[in-house]
Amino acid sequence: MSNTEGAVRPEQLLVYYPTPVLQKVATLATVEDLAKDDLVEKMFKVMNDHSGVGIAAPQIGVSKQVCIVRMLVPGEMKELCHGDDPKYQGIVMLNPEVSGRGDLEEEVEGCLSCPGISAHVHRKSWVVVKWTDEVGIPREMRFGNYAARIVQHEVDHLQGLCIINKLSPVDKITNAKALKVYDAMANRSRHAARSRQGR
């Protein structure tokens, strides 16, 4: 998830909609998966480089159920964060499951993988999340307010959903120009896939 102020786009590991990995359910993750290619380090790097408040593994092209939720208050939930350095003030979650939800609230969201798009998204005001931490310990915690929104956004990514899938009719009009670009990209991807199959 991004702040909606449009951070600079360094070209590196981040993948953009409509890349297929963003549109499928990610496979369950193990602690061993985190060591492969420094997955967590790469996720933190991309999230920090793009001024994100959360990131999911599919956003760097890895179809595993791993996400990071940034803690926005310094020292908040420090014992669960990846490290003491402020750039690592985030909770790494494997296979998160969301339940026990509060009332729906609407806020504008952006997405690192959908630059130029902003959507009015309804999310539960609080959620209970069960996940496995990065050393294999099962965790369960209630998240409220903005942290709850970040968790739900990242879990959507793990289920193959982006904010483009949640655009209201009004959002589609507001984002019409950017959506044309994404439609053109999707058409090129489909055409390229058909060309490869025809070989």
Contacts of 113 (CB under 8 A, 6+ apart): 14, 15, 16, 17, 19, 22, 59, 157, 162
CA distance linking residue 94 with residue 71, whole number of Å: 17
Q: What does the block give as tokens for 109?
A: 């969201």
Q: Which helix (H) or strand (E) holds 185?
A: helix 176-197
β-pair partners for 92: 68
CA 113, 95, 129, 54: dihedral to nearest 10 degrees? Answer: -20
Catalytic site residues?
Answer: 154
